[in-house]
Each structure stands twice: as structure tokens, then as C-alpha cells.
A and B are shown apart, each in its own frame.
Chain A
């Protein structure tokens, strides 16, 4: 449901909440699905900034000549990838309960960008290690056999993808990378005419370990199996990030 609350004077003011002695982080979990998958990370940043202003979020602003609020996103999505589990840290300067602030924010977003959780974080975004994705591929020739073939490819000893890289002269080239150690818990099935892949891919916010872009998996399957090469009006694929985990790949990140 799209929030359509009557605009005009807001029913609350951020000054209702006392100032904190020190600015404090709040972590938000939000979704970015449907139409929103086509919004780039850069555009999302400016969209979020305006949402926080509309919601009268008591953000802490950096001092100085050009004061600004810092929004820290965990794992920026590629255009065309959806997510049910985006994380965002912001600093607030007033003692507004996180869930209350989330309610104000949800009055300023559409369902496709709804905020799901808000809390004072006890972990660092750097602790993120794995991301789980659902792939739904509608391609000509999809069947049980294709599903097991794909499962075979993704669970093989070596899983080679072509990764974009830049040489010393900033020239783009593709290099072969074995991502087998960075893919786990793969399951593939054929269901309702679609190939459905569920897998966990290594995810990292600061390159301490590899970050695998799920689009690379689709590209690999296109190259190896020739899927998704037919009628664009009938073939399509969706990728959605569903959960984020700590290093053990089992405990949900929070």
C-alpha cells in the first residue's frame, strides 16, 4: 500500500525528543524491490536523504562549511537486482526510539522501499560475510535437466566466472576467477516453468574477503548454457537478495 497521508503540518516535530549527549547510530533494514531495482545506488543516496528530511529524522550533521548527514549503506546493489534486506546506518542527535523513527520514514516511502527494522546496532557492517539470493530464470528450454545441469555447474570443484577488471592503464578487461570457495548452500529446482536457484554468495563491504555480484552467476550461465538468448518479451530473470549472514553463513546478520 502506498502511503498517502495528508500532507501539510506534520503531527510531530523532531524537537519533541531530547538531545543525546553524543550522536548515536541507528541501523535500518529496508527493502528495495520491484521498480526500485532500476534505481542506481547513487540516485538512491539522494532519494534517501530527502526521505529523512521529510520524515524529520533528527540526523546528526557534520560540522563545518558544508554540513551534511552521513548515510552508510552496507552492500550497494547493482541496477536490476532486488533486495529484501538492505542495511543502512545513520547517526541521530536526538533520543528518538528507532522503531518510532521508522514509522515516520515509512509514511514517506512506497511499499517497494519500505523499512522493515530499526535498532541501535551492536555489530559492525564489516561483519557481513554472506548474502543469500533467489534467482528466478524464465528461459526457453527450462526443465528438470537444465536445473540439475545448473546445480552441477554451481557446485563443481571450480566455478569459473569472467570478472571485469582494470589494468594499470585503466583499460577494462575480463579475467577468469574461480569463485567456488565463495558460493555455498546451492539448490536449484525447476518449478512453475522457471529455473529457481537459491545460493549464498560471499559478500563484503570492504574487500576483506571477496564480494560476488549475483549478475556474474547469470552471465556465466548465459555463456555456458546459452540460456536467455531468445525472445526478450518472453524470457526474463529476476534476482533478489533475501538474507545477510555473519561469517558462519548461518547466523542472520543484525
Chain B
């Protein structure tokens, strides 16, 4: 959001969030423009500016000469208060024009806890929350991003959603808008109908009738027109080497969360961790070639001046040509004092060679995610790593003089027992022991291990989508139990707030009947629920209660495999049969090989894709 009033700017925290005028921002002449986009990120400027997806789509839309895409972020609470006090509407970052003047408002939904901020942004823009209340004069509001895979809890507030990767689909959508505006056939209703019928990956919630069973489960979703797809298939970019790549970057003037080059190495993930939504919905794996990546990295370096390149992908060490890529980058990065960093590493790929190349690994602490404490449970979730892998990996670190290590786990996974929790404590102890047995360790220093435990949330489009989340009481009990098991003072134990995970679970598997609760939450001023200081569990429960919503119906119930799921209307490429099969394997404690080793027939190969590990699609 851009605010022009300097008195207001001088009275808030970090005014640089709102002053805009960044180098690289795209300003166009309104008279050449046929459709204006406001791309909203429902969190602060510092977080939104660090998002790679927004950067890509901003560039892609602006590469069309007659489309102008601007950005908008959620103003911080102090600014929100000033805006309400002085009737200042939410504006776009580039032009400073009110959001309500735009043709299309795109909102990226990165996490469930941003829903209240999303609604707060609409409210600040003076836009009615419910789509049905917005007439022809209001902008079209389209959502996207990972939460659009189950958009149902917020479906009533949006005109439509873009499912999957938006580089092409958003442009086709805007082209149709321009075409209908130009030939005089545009009405919001007709446009949305045609978009749903003609453009792949566009889901229009208002075009489906939903019936519910007496027990509260869903009976059916029926399209109201014959030419509207029963299930909306997600879009993907098939060839990542040729996919749109933003050569110019908007350079923030203030510090953001990721002030570095983010080099997207590949999309998808070869693993199939059974709790992980990203690992399923971003399939198939599509790699870029090292040649293209090296060129793109150099280009971004010259365009930004950043001194760090982060190789970003779901599990970067699974990139099949990682060595070639890092060698290619190191040819010029070292002499230019540019360092390489990795967001995450799997223990089975953590080697001395990699550590020498990657400065953040060299300098930072060791971080691994075994996710579960026992081998049995790691097999259940299909996290194909074992204790030996972990101990080997930490020893590589200890050899190099590291003394601390962070381990991520999840609590409340399906089939979990107290023995599995013991396993977490034992694994941490084993790491401490490994340190003392390592002859190359830094002498005279005590090791420290941080055990960080989050709460399992069943997510749509995962083999665990039907599972119940542990009740709050169980979580608290388990957290206390684990705390009692960790007695060594060299082990630090931290756990996530189970209350946040509970609300997240409700929203993640929610359906349209949650809309009144979200609207009420907005009315009561909820915002920034992803920020601890603004999350109030009791208030949330009160909102659900006041709306008469049985929230545990969504979070703490084992869903039937034959139930119609709210997200059945979306097709992410992976079949339900595969997810059921994987759930069966989980209960049988059977692991599934990675896509690179053997195809397990998830069905996503029907989408095609270059440099995947998928077998070519066959005509059925």
C-alpha cells in the first residue's frame, strides 16, 4: 500500500513499508492499459516482498503491455488504525490508487492463518466481504496459492480461484476479461461463467450447488452449468527451463525477510512424505537444467546486487544435478563475494562436500527434520531416513567444529504412541552421545541440541487427509510427557502452540459453512493471526461458538474414505486412489520409494512435464 500523506507516514512505525517508490517497480501509463491488477499479499510488506511466487506473477502479468499489475500488502496495525481514523482506503503500492478502482484483485493465500488478514484488507479497501454482495462496479477478486487447493472456507468471499501455477492461467483470465470488456459482452456473471468453462484451472465457487447430508457431511457438489467442469484440474508449467522468469526484481528499500536471490531450482518433490501437502500438490517434479539456472542466477545478481543466492526448492538436495549447479555457480560467486545458501537439507544428503560449498551450512547451525522419533513412525509417514543417516550427518558437522544442532519433529502423527515420543528424547540423546564420541569435535565445548516439536495438522490432498488431529488435551498431555523425558540440560525443548495448530486444522479442512465465522472474526478485528501476539485462541473458539459451528467436526474427526470432501471439486493431479493406497501403506508401516527410484502411480503424469521422473502418460 502506498500512502502519500506525509503526516500520517511520519506518525507510524517503519514508514518505509508504505512509501514505495522502489527501484524496479513497474509504472505504466494508464492510457495504454486495458486491465489493472492489484496483487495482494495478506501479510506485511517485509514478508510479501520476500515471496518468490508474487515476484514471478508480478513480472509475468506486467510482461503484457496492456496489463498493469501493482502490489498491495497488509498495513501494520498502527497504520490500520490511522486509516480507519482518517478514512484512508487501502491503496496499491505503485500508483497509490484505491484498490476498489482496480479491475482485478489477486490475493495469494500462502497459509490458512492469513484468512483474517485477507478479509481485513478487503474491509480496509471498502470492498464488501461476500462476493454475492458485490455488484458490477467492484473488482473481480481471485485467489491463488497453496490454500486455494481447499478454498472452501473462504470461497464465499472470492469470485474465483486460480488452481495450480498461475503464470499462464492468470494472463488467459485477464485476456478474456479484456476481450469481453472490449466487445461489450462483459457482465461479471457471464465473464466468470466463461472463465470457468474455457480457461483451465479457474474455479468459480458460485457455479456449484452443494448439498449436505443430515450428519453434516457433504452429499454432493454439482455444477450449475453443463460446460463447467465437475472438478477443476490444476495448471502447471510443463517446461521449467522455458517458464517465465523475472529478469527484473523490485528492490525493497527496507530490510525484508529474505534479502537475497531466490533461485528456483525445480518444482515438486520426489519424496512422498505422507503428511506433506506441498509434496503432493506441487507434483510432478520438473527440474531446470544447470545451464539455465547458472544463467538466471547471474542475471539476478546483476539486476539486484544481492550477495547471497538461496537455492530454493522443496528438498534441494534431491536435485539430480546439484553438483553441476553448485560448481557452475562457484565459478563466479566466490570472486564476487556472493555466497550460496540452502533453505533445507535432508540428513541423507548432508555431505562434507556440500558443506564446504554452501556458506550458510558452513556458518550456521545444523538443522535437520527427522519428523518422528522412532523408525516405525518414520516409516508410517514415509520419511525415508534412519537414525544412522542422522548420526552420520551430525558427525559431518561435528567434524567441522560445529557444536549445536536443531532437530524438527512433529507430534500427533497418525498411529503415534508414547514409545514414539520416547524416541524423540532418545534421538536427541544419541546426538549428544555422538558428539562426545567424535574424536574431531571441538574440544572443551559442550554440545547443544534443540528439539523443536510442531503439531500434526491433517491437510487436504495428503494420504493423511482423512485423519483426526489430536485433541487439545492430548497435545498438552503429550507435550508435558515429552518435557519430562528430556532431562539433559544440553537438550533444549521447544514446542509449537497447539492452539494455533488446532485453528489451522479447522480452516485447512473447512468447507463453506465456515464463512460466517470468518466474517465475524473480521468484524471483531482479527488480523495477523499468523503472528503470535495477535492470535487469541479463546476468541476464535468464541467466534465458532457464536456461529453455532461444531469446529471439532473439521479437526478432530476421522473422515470416511467414501465421504465427499470439500476439496473434491479440485483436482491436483494426484488421484484419491493413490492417497488411499498410501494411507494403507502408512498403517502397514510400509515405505514408498521416491519418484526417482520407482513410480508409485500417483496419477499426476497426466499433466505431462519436462525433466520429470514420471512415466509418459498413456491414453486411457
Contact = CB atoms under 8 A, between A and B. Distances in A.
A49 B305 contact: yes
A43 B16 contact: yes
B73 to A, nearest CB: 15
B10 A39 contact: no
Contacts of B259: 46
Contact of A109 (B8, B18, B23, B304): B23
Given A39-B16, A46-B259, A232 B302 contact: no
Given A50-B306, A112-B21, A80 B10 contact: yes
B484 interface: no
B9 A38 contact: yes
A79 interface: yes
Interface residues of B, number: 34
Contacts, number: 93
Interface in B58-101: 82, 86, 88
Contacts of B5: 232-233, 236
A14 B302 CA distance: 13
Contacts of A39: 16, 19, 253-254
A36 interface: yes
A232 B9 CA distance: 10
Interface size on A, as a range, is: 35 or more
B255 A43 contact: yes
A238 interface: yes
A54 B15 contact: no
A30 B269 CA distance: 48
Contact of A10 (B247, B255, B302, B307): B302
Contacts of A236: 5-7
Given A49-B305, A50-B304, A7 B247 contact: yes
A61 B338 CA distance: 14
B434 interface: no
A40 interface: yes
A237 to B, nearest CB: 8
A23 interface: no
Contacts of B248: 7
Contact of B21 (A61, A110, A233): A110
Interface string A34-56: 11111110011011011111100
B309 to A, nearest CB: 13
Interface in A57-91: 61, 67, 79-80
A20 interface: no
Nearest to B299: A8
B489 to A, nearest CB: 33
Interface of B: 5-11, 15-16, 18-23, 27, 82, 86, 88, 247-248, 251, 253-255, 259, 299, 302-307, 337
12 contacts: A7-B248, A10-B302, A37-B6, A39-B19, A39-B253, A40-B254, A50-B251, A50-B306, A53-B306, A79-B10, A113-B23, A232-B82
